[in-house]
């Protein structure tokens, strides 16, 4: 039986996967208010620590953005090869750079006002001005803008040619080594300021981006790639379990020092292999383009941008609703309310022509899903 070419047409499964990877950040940021290894977070709740749940959140966080940038590189290659570099650049300006500028105009000052209120600090004009020195959760849009608009496409094309001559285990090894190198660099410069630390972070995620780019460019080799033993479920599933247990062990024993980064090292291997596996798994999923799925896909970016100050404020405000023995209910409450409020903000953005343009939304992406037009 003849199989259809890889991504011969729009794949709803991969669009949905990208949206889920973005939206999982709402849960992650809600969970960071739990006690544990989050002393630098905006607000730490008066709740009992849940080691098992915290380990799960940290485990998911080790591959969430990795897989997202992998998908971004793959979709970038698809757009460039189908519609050309000029269209791709124009599209990235509208769908990535403009939303970044629009979000950066209000997210930092709103975050300053919220954190000052939570900490009981006096709000000053100087503090408000300095708030624009922090990116908060918008860093990934900066990194994606650099990859799409500053790093030459020719780099991705050359690396794709190099990857073509290598078997998947060698490609995976090179990606793992490069990513860990930039992780160490980030660790060394973490005290030099957020913007400096963003450079090795962007370089690290560019490795995933270019790996996804190369996968699409060399899509004729996918039948051979899929058969590689390192992508077999019988290997990845126990490897994922081992990665999770390593996080659990470190958190449960409250281990400090260099040893605490061992789970991150293990996860760096898992995240590379799992990124390939996720793409192939969701590409074959029989997900139909229903109104609900389309709504999740279309709203994901705006919901993610809007959720951050909402979730941080809720983390403080909802702390008194539940007792110390209810940490998971606390996180679930913040996550659900945060998603609901952020979605309502998305509805408002989408109904405004100016705001929908700023946030890179497609025309009428929500009206047809929630507010169907009446027939005359």
Q: Which two tokens stand for residue 324?
A: 């110390």
The structure tokens listed for 363 are 């025309």
CA distance 339 to 30: 11
Contacts of 228 (CB under 8 A, 6+ apart): 167, 168, 169
Taking the CA atoms of the chain, what radius of gyration do you get in angstroms? Answer: 21
DSSP symbols for 152-218: -HHHHHHHHHHHHTS-HHHHHHHHHHHHHHHHHHHHHHGGG-HHHHHHHHHHHHHHHHHHHHHHHHT
Distance of alpha carbon 278 from alpha carbon 76, whole angstroms:
18
Three-state SS at 48:
coil
Which pLDDT value is given to residue 43? 93
Q: What is the pLDDT of residue 362?
A: 73
Q: How does pLDDT run across 203-219, given as a tens digit for each residue?
A: 999 999 999 999 999 99
pLDDT of residue 366: 45
Nearest to 242 by CA among 65, 57, 67, 59: 59
Q: Give the relative orientation of helices 153-164 and 51-83 as an angle to the nearest 10 degrees.
A: 100
pLDDT at 2 over 50: no
Single pTM value for the model: 0.93
With cut-offs at 50, 70 and 90, classify the pLDDT of residue 38.
low
Position 280 scores a pLDDT of 93
Nearest to 66 by CA among 277, 300, 217, 260: 277
3-class secondary structure, 97: helix
Comparing 95-109, 282-296, 352-366, the range with the smallest average pLDDT is: 352-366
Output the six-digit token pair for 183: 């992780």
Half-sphere exposure for 99 (CA within 13 Å, toward CB) = 29
CA-CA distance, 243 to 239, in Å (whole number)? 6
CB atoms within 10 A of CB 161: 12
Residue 39 to residue 35: CA distance in whole angstroms: 8
Q: Rounded to the nearest 5 degrees, what angle is found at the Cα of 14, between the Cα atoms of 12 and 15?
A: 60
**335 pLDDT exceeds 50?**
yes
What average pLDDT does the segment 283-310 reach? Answer: 92
Tell the residue number behind the tokens 């209810």, with chain if given: 326
| pLDDT digits 0-9 by tens, 270-281 | 999 999 999 999
């Amino acid at each position: 039986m003849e199989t259809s070419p890889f991504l011969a047409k729009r794949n709803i499964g991969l669009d949905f996967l990208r949206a889920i990877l973005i939206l999982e950040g709402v849960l992650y940021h809600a969970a960071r208010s739990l006690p544990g290894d989050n002393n630098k977070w905006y607000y730490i709740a008066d709740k009992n620590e849940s080691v098992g749940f915290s380990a799960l959140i940290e485990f998911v966080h080790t591959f969430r953005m990795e897989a997202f940038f992998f998908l971004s590189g793959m979709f970038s290659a698809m757009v460039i090869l189908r519609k050309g570099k000029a269209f791709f650049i124009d599209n990235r300006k509208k769908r990535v750079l403009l939303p970044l500028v629009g979000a950066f105009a209000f997210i930092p000052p709103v975050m300053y006002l919220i954190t000052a209120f939570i900490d009981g600090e006096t709000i000053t004009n100087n503090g408000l001005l300095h708030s624009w020195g922090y990116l908060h959760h918008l860093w990934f849009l900066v990194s994606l803008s650099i990859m799409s608009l500053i790093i030459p496409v020719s780099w991705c094309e050359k690396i794709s040619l190099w990857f073509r001559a290598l078997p998947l285990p060698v490609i995976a090894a090179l990606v793992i080594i490069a990513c860990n190198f930039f992780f160490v660099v980030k660790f060394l410069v973490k005290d030099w300021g957020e913007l400096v630390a963003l450079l090795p972070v962007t370089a690290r995620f560019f490795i995933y981006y270019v790996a996804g780019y190369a996968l699409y460019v060399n899509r004729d080799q996918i039948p051979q790639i899929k058969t590689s033993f390192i992508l077999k479920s019988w290997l990845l599933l126990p490897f994922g379990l081992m990665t999770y247990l390593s996080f659990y062990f470190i958190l449960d024993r409250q281990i400090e020092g260099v040893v605490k980064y061992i789970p991150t090292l293990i996860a760096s291997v898992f995240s590379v292999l799992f990124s390939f596996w996720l793409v192939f798994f969701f590409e074959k999923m029989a997900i139909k383009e229903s109104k609900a799925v389309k709504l999740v896909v279309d709203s994901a970016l705006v919901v993610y941008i809007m959720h951050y100050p909402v979730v941080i404020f809720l983390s403080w405000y909802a702390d008194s609703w539940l007792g110390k023995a209810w940490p998971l209910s606390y996180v679930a409450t913040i996550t659900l309310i945060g998603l609901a409020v952020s979605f309502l903000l998305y509805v408002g953005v989408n109904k405004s022509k100016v705001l929908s343009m700023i946030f890179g939304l497609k025309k009428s992406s929500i009206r047809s899903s929630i507010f169907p037009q009446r027939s005359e």
